Amino acid sequence: MNKEYVLVTGATGFIGSNLVRALVNAGYGVRALTRNGHVSQRLKGMDIEMCQGDLAENVSLEGVLEDVNCVCHLAGVLGGTTSDEEYYHQLHVRGTANLLAACDKFQIEKFIHCSTAGVLGPNGNGIADENSPYSPTNIYEKTKAEGEKLVIKNAREKLLPTIILRPGMVYGPGDMHHLGLFRSIKKRYFFLINSGKSYLDPVFIEDVAQAFIKALETSETADQIYMIAGPNPITVKEMASVIARALDLPDNFMNIPRGIAMLLARILTGLSKFIPFDSPLTPSRVKFLTESRASSIKKAREQLSYNPVGLEKGISETLKWYEKNGYI
């Protein structure tokens, strides 16, 4: 082979497809693992090799790692996507174990695992870092934490050079998960809960992709974990204000107490079971907007030369994509 080959799991997802593009642009050969082996809309036009395999079925992974130098494991299901707890476990835990077992049969040079800052749970008014204790609060975070622990255990037992990246709230062009936030601000029905003083850890998608590239290129490989977020923790109010300004709208949002917001969310969620509509407020969204999750990127800055863009630039690029594609 003339160039280094990277296997990417979860290549058709939001983060995965952006990573594939960044890898190709950086000169890496890419093998994308998908269940059907077909090129998705997000991967069209990219010079990559597609392969078929199901992480939940270790037999289907035979040969997937042939001639691969490094692995970027991003396959997962986003929190709130499904209520099937077994599916989270099957992909985040069993799937990770199967992939690690497959790696054991080949001379893999580096394994990079995409975890989440969510494995640490909410942290009040503090700022989490790589030494903060696990404190997951939902099935998504719990199974991601289990998968991360498997990766750490494997690295120590098999001496496989391993890096774990923990992205925060990933947003950017192509992101549909946070579209509702932009729409609610655009339509002027967004409101603050508890004055919007809780902290978020938004990180622009291009910064996440570049963090993976830097992780591939760094010599720091001894069970290293890195928090990946924006330059600074941002309050809900600050983020909403940046989005409003990008939309040329005022940022004088109405404020309501958390208790009232949660009651309203439960009423709307209950009604949505009988009257088909997408509730703008759910209990999980109330929690998201009122539980502080802030991360320190000091270690990533120092060891990976990680230097994320500011929130204003990231929001501007995201909004342009939404508008261009008719979502806003």
**Residue-level pLDDT at 42:** 77
* Distance between CA atoms of residues 91 and 17, nearest Å: 18
The structure tokens 């539980």 sit at 291
**Residue-level pLDDT at 288:** 82
Hey, what's the torsion of the CAs at 219, 220, 221, 225, to 10 degrees? Answer: -150
* Distance between CA atoms of residues 37 and 50, nearest Å: 6
**Residue-level pLDDT at 71:** 96
Cβ-in-10-Å burial (0-12, 13-18, 19+) of 293 comes to buried
* Distance between CA atoms of residues 136 and 188, nearest Å: 33
Cβ-in-10-Å burial (0-12, 13-18, 19+) of 38 comes to exposed
**Residue-level pLDDT at 77:** 86
**Residue-level pLDDT at 1:** 45
Hey, what's the torsion of the CAs at 202, 235, 295, 113, to 10 degrees? Answer: -20
**Residue-level pLDDT at 81:** 54
**DSSP per position, 95-144:** HHHHHHHHHTTTT-SEEEEE--GGGG---TTS-B-TTSPP---SHHHHHH
The answer to whether 77 touches 45, Cβ cutoff 8 Å, is: no
The structure tokens 């497809």 sit at 17
Q: What are phi and psi of 186, to 5 degrees?
A: -60, -40
The answer to whether 91 touches 34, Cβ cutoff 8 Å, is: no
**Residue-level pLDDT at 61:** 87
Residues 6 or more apart in contact with residue 326 via CB below 8 angstroms: none
**Residue-level pLDDT at 101:** 93
- The gap from C-alpha 93 to its chain's centroid, in whole angstroms, comes to 16
By DSSP bridging, strand 29-34 and strand 5-9 are parallel
| Helix locations, 109-233, DSSP H | 139-158, 179-186, 205-217
10-residue mean pLDDT series, the chain (328 residues): 82 93 94 77 80 86 89 86 79 94 91 96 88 93 96 93 96 93 91 93 97 91 90 95 96 93 91 80 84 94 96 97 94
By DSSP bridging, strand 191-193 and strand 224-228 are unpaired
**Residue-level pLDDT at 47:** 82
**Residue-level pLDDT at 59:** 83
Domains and CATH numbers, the chain: 5-174+203-230+294-308 (3.40.50.720)
